[in-house]
Amino acid sequence: MKEGKDTGSLHSGKLRSSFSGKVGYVLAVAGSAVGLGNIWRFPYLAAKYGGGIFLLVYLILMLTFGYALIISETAIGRMTKRSPVGAFGAFGKSFPFRFGGWVNAVIPMLIVPYYSVIGGWVVKYLFEYLRGSTEALAEDDYFSGFISNGVSAEIWFLLFSLMVVAVLFAGVKQGVERVSKVMMPLLVILAVFVAGYSMTRPGAWEGVKYFLIPNLDNFSWMTVVAAMGQMFYSLSIAMGILYTYGSYIKKDVDIEKSTGQVEIFDTAIAMLAGLMIIPAVFAFSGGDPDTLKAGPSLMFITIPKVFASMGFGTGAGIMFFLLVLLAALTSAISLAESGVSTFEDQLGWNRHKATLLMGAIIVLFGSASALGFGVLDFVSVLGMTILDFFDFLTNSLMMPIAEIEQSSDFKRKKMYCFFMKFLAPVCIVIILLSSIASVFGWISM
Ligand code: PFF
């Protein structure tokens, strides 16, 4: 389909792409929000930072602060009908606006390559479960052996990236929206199934209680910092995405209502992911604190062990990794769409040319990240692997900076003004400082 046929506002003589309606828009934003952040990151943070108390802090932050931030980014996108650089530019041409716009535009371009590397790992695991390699996946060195094998990691990464680029080529309505409409309902069904399976394993109930019931003894300062960082990550805030998707909606979409729906979707999937993973880990290890604190490797190392030790492990593995794949795909698509839209707006390019450039960026930076565990493992930036460095650069440095830039420009109701003007800058500086402190080993996150 030719993008020019999409109805939308006129910009630089071209018709702007748009979603066909409210449902498509809500599912596309939910598709962006629900990603690896929900299924991979949220459960390992919740397991590590106190279970129920982490969940409570997260919910409070999301309903107040997160809500205000999503609304503002979406409204600015719709008002200006521009991706982030143009959206910021509409408020002023001075340096802070230009800088803020570009930081927001560049973040998703740097995230999507390494995100696609992890997406590639997910495709590989799904493929292996489909082949019935359940036992092999549960072996101690399987994961490290796989990621350090350059050729294999690169091929699975390229496969995932190809899927993302293909959807972008198809356009906003025919690609992004259509894929979200099919994948999101399927994802919910799979999530309910896997969570049900996990919660009914013998010994799992203790895990359900740990995850849902707040216990003040488990509260620490890091609970708040980790929950706040997760909120930004999970809601796709400060990534240029919400401006971009906001710029594709018409005036009749109720931003407040759709934001509420997106938050419910995002939180429901994160909670289901918590209910899939934490009870399964309890059933497997009896709530052993070391297993609970496994961190990022929880999904690729601990979970395969858990599945291999249970009945129907192969079926559970297939469903679980299919679910993760759908979530990762719709999120990667949104990150890359933000980049494509920036190239269209700023360079005046057509969609296909902009998509090709985004594809080239993904392959270039993503290959460096994929190979960073293998042939390029001698490269270390600030003591981090290439993939970890991109994650640190975008999520811990650029993202807080991008939010501070925009924090006081858009005024609405009282709560909104309070969060944006006073609380937002303080909280974001805290995230920034703690991320830096953790990289230098001053604190442990
Ligand atoms: N919100 C999505 C997720 O939780 O996975 C996508 C995403 C956005 C991931 C921004 C990472 C990120 F930094």
Report the pLDDT value the prediction gives residue 7, as an integer from 0 to 100: 35
Q: Ligand 1: which of 32, 236, 267 to mutate, most ligand atoms within 8 Å of CB?
A: 236
Longest CA–CA separation in the chain, Å: 63
Q: Ligand 1: which of 239, 262, 326 to mutate, most ligand atoms within 8 Å of CB?
A: 239
User: Which amino acid residue places its CA nearest to atom 11 of ligand 1?
Assistant: 233
pLDDT tens, N- to C-terminus, the chain (445 residues) = 333 333 333 344 456 778 887 888 888 888 889 999 999 889 988 988 889 999 999 999 999 888 888 998 999 899 998 888 988 888 778 777 888 888 889 999 999 999 999 999 999 999 999 999 999 999 989 999 999 888 999 999 999 999 999 999 888 778 778 888 888 888 888 889 889 988 998 889 999 999 999 999 989 888 888 898 899 889 988 888 999 889 998 888 888 889 999 999 999 999 999 999 899 888 888 878 777 777 777 889 888 988 898 778 899 899 899 999 999 999 999 999 999 999 999 999 998 999 999 999 999 999 998 888 877 877 777 777 888 788 777 766 666 666 555 544 444 455 566 666 666 767 777 777 777 777 677 766 5
User: Which amino acid residue places its CA nearest to atom 12 of ligand 1?
Assistant: 233
Amino acid occupying residue 298: L
Contact in structure between 284 and 291 (CB atoms under 8 Å):
yes
Per-residue CA distances from 138 to 143, 182, 308 (Å): 9, 31, 6
Q: Determine the Cα–Cα distance for residues 438 and 420; give it in Å rounded to an integer.
A: 26
Instruction: Count Cβ atoms within 10 A of the Cβ of residue 329 and give its class: 0-12 exposed, 13-18 middle, 19 or more buried.
Output: buried
Contact in structure between 287 and 2 (CB atoms under 8 Å):
no
User: Which amino acid residue places its CA nearest to atom 6 of ligand 1?
Assistant: 331
Distance from the alpha carbon of residue 327 to the mean position of ligand 1, in angstroms = 10
Report the pLDDT value the prediction gives residue 188, as an integer from 0 to 100: 87
- The residues, ordered by sequence, that sit 6+ positions from 40 with a Cβ below 8 Å of its Cβ are 118, 296, 298, 299, 324
The 8-class DSSP code of residue 280 comes to H
Q: Both tokens of residue 37?
A: 């952040």
Distance from the alpha carbon of residue 272 to the mean position of ligand 1, in angstroms = 17
Q: Determine the Cα–Cα distance for residues 397 and 241; give it in Å rounded to an integer.
A: 18
Q: Which of 342, 103, 397 is nearest to 229 (CA)?
A: 397
Task: Please identify, by atom number, the ligand 1 atom nearest to the C-alpha of residue 239.
Answer: 10
Report helix, strand or coil for 301. Answer: coil
Task: Please identify, by atom number, the ligand 1 atom nearest to the C-alpha of residue 395.
Answer: 13
Task: Please identify, by atom number, the ligand 1 atom nearest to the C-alpha of residue 38.
Answer: 4
Q: Ligand 1: which of 331, 369, 389, 391 to mutate, most ligand atoms within 8 Å of CB?
A: 331
Report the pLDDT value the prediction gives residue 142, as an integer from 0 to 100: 94
Domain 24-439 classified CATH 1.20.140? no
Per-residue CA distances from 273 to 39, 211, 443 (Å): 5, 11, 28
351: phi then psi, degrees, rounded to nearest 5: -60, -40
The 8-class DSSP code of residue 10 comes to E
Report the pLDDT value the prediction gives residue 390, as an integer from 0 to 100: 80
Q: Determine the Cα–Cα distance for residues 285 and 291; give it in Å rounded to an integer.
A: 7
Exposure on the CB side of residue 354, measured as CA atoms within 13 A: 22
Report the pLDDT value the prediction gives residue 52, as an integer from 0 to 100: 95
